[in-house]
Structure 1
Amino acid sequence: MLTVADIMTTKVVTLNQLNTMKNAHDLSKAKGIRHLPIVNNETQELMGVVTQKAMIARVISILTQYGIDALNEQEMKTLAIDIADTEFVSVYPEQDVQEVATFFLNNKHGCLPCIDANNKLVGIISSSDFVKLSIRLLEKQA
């Protein structure tokens, strides 16, 4: 059985609860990633996930409410945790990949954080990980 641990990304780029939306925006742009888990900087427990979709929605809200001149300032005032999804579904390293893939398909998630028994982030699994797995499996068949 293939597990989440077999295909997840373990070198996860994260934020902490003190980071701002500006930090999230800059990091997302620099690293080319769409999902940024937020971990407590003291306990390393997972607190939420900031998505590209949430950042775009907040930018639109800022532009509508304050105008373009205030965008940078408002991004620096907004904590990333305030726009994060804090009611997220997570997975465990030992979970069956097929089960998680079915969940992805049925729920249209872009990523799922992978945590240990202490709610500490150990990885992240995204649609990209499933594409990589598909390529590996197709190459084995060729």
Structure 2
Amino acid sequence: MQVKDIMTPNPVCISDGASLKDAHLLMQSRGVRHLPVVGEQDGHYKGILTHKKMISTVVSLLNKYGQGALERKERQYLVRELMDTDAQRLSDDEPLAVVVDYFIENKLGCLPVLDKEQRVLGIVTSSDFVKLCKTLLSK
């Protein structure tokens, strides 16, 4: 099996010029925990923003500035300042046996799937592997 067999195609992405508030609202409204970040100008992959990073930043802002200033502060932080740019990237033909080892060794929640031009094709999450396990176990 390959990444393309379990990935979520065309995931919800966010621009690197969007604010933390935009990311917060997008994650909330679309029910996602990982946002691939794409360049505002070229649409190419730049990094990933996780729910964990977003929440830790929001809590930090809340503790530092209080509830009254939270929304204003969230609008001041840009996604490009918070995203992880070091995340491993996958191609859609990557063998799942290799990918699952990488997930386990690095305790990851997701990996972006990119084409040769660095455009986001999909995303693979730990939930995708759990769904695969369910399918395999039910056979």
Q: How many residues align?
A: 139
Q: Which string of whole-angstrom CA distances, capped at 9 and with x for unpartnered residues, describes residues 18-72 of structure 1?
A: 2111110011111221111111133221011111111112112212321111100
2:41 and 2:80 mapped to 1: Cα distance? 15
Residue number in structure 1 paired with 2:58: 59
1:69 counterpart = 2:76? no
Residue number in structure 1 paired with 2:103: 104
1:86 and 1:53 mapped to 2: Cα distance? 15
1:36 and 1:85 mapped to 2: Cα distance? 10
- State whether residues 10 and 120 of structure 2, in contact with CA within 8 Å, keep that contact through their aligned partners in structure 1: no
How do 1:99-138 residues align onto structure 2 when only pairs under 5 Å count? Answer: 99-138=98-137
Return the letter of the residue paired with 1:28.
M
Return the letter of the residue paired with 1:9.
T
Deviation at 1:89, TM superposition (A): 0.9
1:90 counterpart = 2:102? no
Q: Which string of whole-angstrom CA distances, capped at 9 and with x for unpartnered residues, describes residues 57-99 of structure 1?
A: 2112212321111100011111112111111111111100011
Long gaps (5+) in structure 1: none
**Secondary structure in structure 2 of the residue aligned to 1:48:** strand
1:19 counterpart = 2:18? yes
Long gaps (5+) in structure 2: none
**Secondary structure in structure 2 of the residue aligned to 1:112:** strand
Identity of aligned residues (%): 38
2:39 and 2:58 mapped to 1: Cα distance? 25
1:114 and 1:82 mapped to 2: Cα distance? 22
Deviation at 1:137, TM superposition (A): 1.1
1:102 and 1:31 mapped to 2: Cα distance? 29
1:122 and 1:42 mapped to 2: Cα distance? 18
**Secondary structure in structure 2 of the residue aligned to 1:114:** strand
1:23 and 1:13 mapped to 2: Cα distance? 13
2:74 and 2:127 mapped to 1: Cα distance? 28
